[in-house]
Every structure is written in structure tokens, then in C-alpha cells.
Chain A
């Protein structure tokens, strides 16, 4: 079983739609969780961290369910510029550093 699993998509949604991505992780001892965004032929960039209580940043909401080992990202009022690949990232380190990346979910927002 892959350590971090994501639905690869692609998700094709019209502008203004709400879309949700899911991610599951296998290591119950995982400490930290992130969503990264990667535009086509560009490097990944941090979109937001995911906190236990859930967190929101504008149109983006991230949630964590430790019991189910599940992370989600919700994008409201999708914009054309949201088209990208969204990477789920899990940090398994108790000490040191060990980020595991999912393969990413591809989103295409259409006019």
C-alpha cells in the first residue's frame, strides 16, 4: 500500500464550482500534513498546512481526520487560475525529516 494515496483525477469543473480532493495516508504516527500546488512544468509550492482542527485560507479549506487517516482539501468558487496539480504531503518524522508526497490530483477549471 502506498504511504500517501490520492485520486489522480483529472477533475474538470466549471468556474465557480466547489471541488474537494481527498487523500489517505498509511502511517498512523504521521505528525504533519500539507497541501502543495504544482503548476504545469513548475516546481511544487506550499498551498497550506493542515491542522487537526481544520483550517481555512480564503477559498481553501483543509481538514484532517486522524482516526480515518484522511485529509481533504476543499476549493470554493473555483477560478481558472486554480488549475494545477494538488499534492498531498505527509510528514512522518518523529525526529529528523521525512516528507512523503502523493502523486497529486489534477484540477482543470474551465470557463
Chain B
């Protein structure tokens, strides 16, 4: 399995500010992803975090809004920039290991 730690677990932020979420995995993994889960909605893939290169973003998500870093095979960050109340959501880091997708416990973000 994979143990994934996310920080912060929750935060309340003011409109217009930015928040960086950290994801640490207990082992090296090639595939690392960031998902968003809005209330009552399905998990939506934001991007694939690529080690050593720019993240690959899904339709509807852009680097300026969700910059991602992946300095090595065990760590990644997601920044939610210039936040608005619509960004209130749970953000989940996930990794693919042995064909199974493992998730962190998520970061619950509330934007006022």
C-alpha cells in the first residue's frame, strides 16, 4: 500500500489569498495526482503531477490557478491561487501504486 500525508487537513481562507497544500508519500511513486471533490459532486481530476516537468492539467484547470510542484518522487504541492468561495472543496492527493489508486485524507478548504 501507500501512506499519504496531506497538510493542512483543513483551512479557512479569505477571498483573494492563496493556499499551498503539501502531499508526502511514504515511498517513491511515478504517478501522482491531484483531485478535487466538491460537495455532492464526484471526484474530479485536476492534474497529474510530473516529476521534473510541468504538471499535466485536465480540461477546465489551468496552471495559473492551480500551480503544482513535484520536486521528487515522494512529494508534491498544489497551490490554489486567488481563491474565491467557489474553490471551497476537498483537495485530495493520490498515487498509483501496483495498479491501485491510493488517496490522502484530503485537505478541506473553505473560502470566505
Query: Please, what's the 1-or-0 string for A77-93, where 1 marks a CB less than 8 Å from any CB in chain B?
Result: 00000000001000000
Question: Do A44 and B103 have beta carbons less than 8 Å apart?
Answer: yes
In A50-100, which residues have CB < 8 Å from any B CB? 87, 97-100
B9 → chain A closest CB, angstroms: 10
Question: Do A99 and B45 have beta carbons less than 8 Å apart?
Answer: yes
Cα distance A97–B43 in the bound complex, in angstroms:
15
Question: Do B101 and A87 have beta carbons less than 8 Å apart?
Answer: no
Interface residues on A, range: 10 to 19
Cα distance A87–B22 in the bound complex, in angstroms:
25
Interface residues on B, range: 10 to 19
Question: Do A43 and B104 have beta carbons less than 8 Å apart?
Answer: yes
Question: Do A42 and B48 have beta carbons less than 8 Å apart?
Answer: no
Given contact pairs A4-B42, A44-B92, a sample of 19 additional A-B residue pairs in the complex whose CB atoms are under 8 Å apart: A42-B105, A43-B104, A43-B105, A43-B106, A44-B43, A44-B103, A45-B102, A87-B42, A97-B31, A97-B33, A97-B96, A98-B45, A99-B45, A101-B42, A101-B44, A102-B42, A103-B40, A103-B41, A103-B42
B residues near A (Cβ < 8 Å) are 31, 33, 40-45, 48, 92, 96, 100-106
